[in-house]
Structure 1
């Protein structure tokens, strides 16, 4: 446990470091299928061109993109301008024949707007020489909602199926596919669809690697206003029944993410486009900036395995160089890997600690407690300590001791008390380095 010391760096240094750190994600995302939904509110903001530039970059990096656009505010404006009344039931628009004309006009205008933005290619712009083909068509087959609870939804529909093979042929060719909240039935009728349902249905049908929902002011917070960065589908479901999450549109967007993550999509992301570059930050940095609904934990605390040796060595190296930790060779670490616990975040080891038991003395040594500098202002060190305390109790140990030169205060905060070298088991006393002069702390379990 050490304190991260910041040093001034230039903007160029920051850019180089960020680009280097993003390379694992560039490799990981290449060839993957992402379904990205852009809400209708985002389509009205001046931030839309920058977002299109970021999507174009994903396409250039080899991501197979399927876009879904919303149209709710645009439809509402056209319906109102036509002197018609917008009627909703359970957040779903009841679409009569007159309203359907406004729906098709709004959706058509948005399709053309997006085609124009993807056609940009001005010199000195991010999309220069991009030559992206945005393909739209009858990829979504619809069916009517029908009559529910006495309400005839008329031309409001649901997704019947997604034309998976047709979409795959397009993305295999490097094209970006655009799906609209409008679908045709096998009888040729048009139906107004929920964009979130189109997005989640497409992600599930395509076995997409990610569903990404982009909203204007889309943020999922806890009761104290802190961003919830990771949720399981079960946790998301519990949030949805709370009154504060029962308002449009967050409930629809979180429901879509939960539905996708529960049906085979590994990760669903909810992002607020009010933050410039939110899409890039979410996909190319380890912590991201939005809320992720995932079937499996993005961050895990577990026992170490032999294939973790490289990650642990990389984590320990800076602390060994500055003298905080005693150096360990790869061979030694490989032999002792079963002693270690670690925290892994998206494939990177961000924390580790080891327990060396002395069964005859009913005591264990806590060693190699290290947390990556970017994650020290958290409770990950405490999580590792609690994990190894449980492991120590399982081995019938009654005490833990630690030797430290720089982190005495942290260990005292966790219940360790100062002790002398004579408190160590005899075997460990014989190995004590008097030149290093480490302080001894002991904790009863």
Structure 2
């Protein structure tokens, strides 16, 4: 058994019933085989892979809060500080009923390499709770956030661990969390990103992940003498990432024809109306049925189906493992050219392998959706300098970061004889920087 296989088996044995974490580790380790095998004795002696697949610490805590009926509710809270070899832990807080320790560990592990790829000095972490903000009043959400932060504040700080938003954690939640942090710490400091613009937030943060996704796909297209002009694009999801990916794709000359939420999806052959989508999802917080009711050209379908639509570029922007093998087969049969991940690990391993085997350009999430955390790091810089940059300044820096990421993952893939394998390129480029920093700092 090779060193890579031994470490993967160790992860499975030591982390039972955490399939997402196993999946994320296996994808990374498989990509790293040529790097590890070139110097296996050294990496084995240093236990480098054991250290990089084991979080620095895992924090689990109870979150009690009182609902509007006076009933006490109890949720589970998590923060996994995975690796801080290149900077303070950085990663979002996910609020969703599906959140488990395994989910948070998979996201934190991915975040280590994603953050490394941004070229900015930030380590990897993730957190969240199985609390569901949907259907809750503002007072209930505030009660939950204050209780959550009453424990979390002990473990974070601007030079220690800087959480951000994620699924279920938007500007409202970040505001409540930050208010409680200030109350407990009696300090005004940049400990959270995704803050409101009136208290240290950054322009372009809301748009960053979706815009960054389009910027890296655009770099790929330019590298292959192509562009978005005239392309048909399918997008899943209807949150921040999806909305702003749709907006930027249409600005770049494409027509986006789908969007989806947890109950169904829209096919709009005239192109998604971004203003209407924002009104339905950001203002009303309603279902896509309202979009279809207000848009004569739109067809609403229950369940899944976005990937059945003929497309040139597919952008999964909803949640993990949403694009299955049969979806990949349909996309390939319909002539897809590029699949780029706006969400974290939205494509199953079988689907990813199939796309790559069929020579479809596949840009993995740790590279393609790094724009969000990149602008979070830029928010940290602005907070440290007590400055606020213009939208254009932040957007320009974001474009440069995404262009660098594409060039770095492309170069890393070529270096190890895996030209155009952007999964391998992203994992290798992210790993090498973190591994070098870990070795330089000794056995810690």
Q: Same fold (TM over 0.5)?
A: no
Answer 1 or 2: higher relative contact order, Cα 8 Å, separation at least 6.
2
TM-score range, shorter chain: under 0.3
Structure possessing the higher radius of gyration over alpha carbons: 1
